[in-house]
């Protein structure tokens, strides 16, 4: 049956892939975005589909619509962008959650929250399980994002307990792929663009910090599986690729896959940059029969191909 689905942050990196997949599955999709870090170009190819609708709206303001499901993705995800206007980032997470949960309550829609591994902060437990409460600096540079997302989780569980809203919480770990913005600022897009342009590869700190990188198609598949689970399963559930790499290993891999002459240079490590991150995905495996299929080399190759085309066709210089 065709469902009507709202995707907030739908013109962003993950949101645009999600809209595409939901439409391909035969649903009607309403994409809502304020274009802070997303862009119309990410979804322009969907506009010819009569079941797709694009609306400029900021989730900090109330919004009314009749839909069956809501995927709440609106929020800048890259540290440079979420730290640009930290107060707005908190508002987006918290007021966005209140507005979307209020809507879900009123229209009895099911609602999924794009939460994050950042709720674990700089984790002291490794790998991270959903039962871990985290290690977050509430007054640090990343707090606007981390605490905003933690408060959003609190709002989700309380709307569920108090008002029986059907909720799903997914804690997404570093995800990459085509349609990341060349100036997004996150590590995978930075390194690929730098390698393709022959610029220095900027490793922050000594590069010994780790991340686990999930390819976008795997993540989107996981989000949809989660939305389709029984109402009794609310999460939170970790979603990410459990293969862990140091940032220096990633830099070397990108240089070799691109065949680049770029040099690695070391820059200061940002404040509170987590030293390690790896998801325990036992719950996703058991409850959703989900695990990532695309490993880093393969995912990097398709992301590199995407950025090659972007750089070749860009009318403006890409400075990174």
Applying CB under 6 A, the residues found at the interface with ligand NAD are 8-9, 11-15, 33-38, 58-60, 73-77, 92, 96, 114, 116, 172, 174-175
For 41, the token pair is 């170009």
Return the range that interacts with ligand UDP (CB under 6 A); candidates 5-13, 29-37, 160-168, 196-204: 196-204
Return the range that interacts with ligand UDP (CB under 6 A); candidates 39-47, 161-169, 200-208, 308-316: 200-208
Q: Indicate whether 200 belongs to the interface with ligand UDP (CB under 6 A).
A: no
Cβ contacts of residue 160 below 8 Å, gap of 6+? 166, 167, 234
DSSP 269: P
The answer to whether the beta carbons of residues 292 and 238 sit under 8 Å apart is: no
- The listed partner (ligand UDP, ligand NAD, none) that binds 234, CB under 5 to 8 Å by sort, is none
Q: Indicate whether 174 belongs to the interface with ligand UDP (CB under 6 A).
A: yes
Query: Does 145 participate in catalysis according to the annotation?
Result: yes
The answer to whether the beta carbons of residues 138 and 194 sit under 8 Å apart is: no
For 193, the token pair is 């663009």
- The listed partner (ligand UDP, ligand NAD, none) that binds 35, CB under 5 to 8 Å by sort, is ligand NAD
Q: Which residue is nearest to ligand NAD (CB)?
A: 38
- The listed partner (ligand NAD, ligand UDP, none) that binds 204, CB under 5 to 8 Å by sort, is ligand UDP
Helix extents (H) in the chain: 13-24, 79-82, 86-107, 143-163, 187-197, 216-227, 247-258, 282-288, 296-313
Q: Binding ligand UDP by CB under 6 A: which of 6, 94, 192, 247?
A: 247
Q: Indicate whether 204 belongs to the interface with ligand UDP (CB under 6 A).
A: yes
Closer residue to ligand UDP, CB minimum distance, 63 or 204:
204
- The listed partner (ligand NAD, ligand UDP, none) that binds 79, CB under 5 to 8 Å by sort, is ligand UDP
The count of C-alpha atoms lying within 13 angstroms of the C-alpha of 304, restricted to the half-sphere facing its C-beta, is 20
Catalytic residue among 145, 159, 176, 215: 145
- The listed partner (ligand NAD, ligand UDP, none) that binds 140, CB under 5 to 8 Å by sort, is none
What is the Cα–Cα distance from 282 to 286, expressed in whole angstroms? 6
The answer to whether the beta carbons of residues 231 and 164 sit under 8 Å apart is: no
What is the smallest separation between the CB atom of 263 and ligand NAD, expressed in angstroms? 27
Residue count of the chain:
320
Nearest CA-CA partner of 20 in 7, 35, 36: 7
What is the smallest separation between the CB atom of 198 and ligand NAD, expressed in angstroms? 26
Q: Indicate whether 127 belongs to the interface with ligand UDP (CB under 6 A).
A: no
Q: Can you tell me whether residue 315 is helix, strand or coil?
A: coil
- The listed partner (ligand NAD, ligand UDP, none) that binds 103, CB under 5 to 8 Å by sort, is none
Nearest CA-CA partner of 209 in 282, 276, 164: 276
What is the Cα–Cα distance from 153 to 97, expressed in whole angstroms? 9
By the 10 Å C-beta count (0-12 exposed, 13-18 middle, 19+ buried), 114 is classed as buried
Binding site for ligand UDP (CB under 6 A): 78-79, 174, 186-187, 190, 202-204, 209, 211, 247, 270, 273
Catalytic residues: 145
């Amino acid at each position: 049956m065709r469902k009507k689905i709202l995707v907030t942050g739908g013109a962003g990196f993950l949101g645009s892939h999600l809209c595409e997949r939901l439409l391909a599955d035969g649903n009607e999709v309403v994409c809502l975005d304020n274009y802070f870090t997303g862009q119309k170009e990410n979804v322009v190819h969907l506009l010819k589909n009569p079941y797709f609708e694009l609306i400029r709206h900021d989730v900090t303001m109330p919004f009314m619509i009749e839909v069956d499901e809501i995927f709440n993705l609106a929020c800048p995800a890259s540290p440079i962008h979420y730290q640009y206007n930290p107060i707005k980032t908190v508002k987006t997470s918290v007021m966005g959650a209140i507005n979307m949960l209020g809507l879900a309550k009123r229209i009895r829609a099911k609602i999924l929250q794009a939460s994050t591994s950042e709720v674990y902060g700089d984790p002291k437990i490794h790998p991270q399980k959903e039962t871990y409460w985290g290690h977050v600096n509430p007054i640090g540079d990343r707090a606007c994002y981390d605490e905003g997302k933690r408060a959003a989780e609190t709002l989700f569980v309380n709307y569920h307990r108090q008002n029986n809203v059907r909720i799903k919480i997914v804690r997404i770990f570093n995800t990459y792929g085509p349609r990341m913005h060349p100036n997004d600022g996150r590590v995978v897009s930075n390194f690929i663009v730098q390698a393709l342009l022959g610029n220095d590869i900027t490793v922050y700190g000594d590069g010994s910090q780790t991340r686990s990188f999930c390819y976008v198609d795997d993540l989107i598949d996981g989000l949809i599986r989660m939305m389709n689970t029984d109402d009794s399963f609310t999460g939170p559930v970790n979603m990410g690729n459990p293969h862990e790499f140091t940032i220096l290993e990633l830099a070397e891999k990108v240089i070799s896959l691109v065949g680049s002459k770029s040099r690695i240079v070391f820059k200061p490590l940002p404040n509170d940059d987590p030293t390690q991150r790896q998801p325990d995905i036992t719950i996703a495996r058991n409850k959703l029969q989900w695990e990532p299929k695309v490993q880093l080399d393969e995912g990097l190759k398709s992301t590199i191909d995407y950025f090659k085309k972007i750089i070749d066709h860009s009318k403006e210089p890409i400075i990174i």
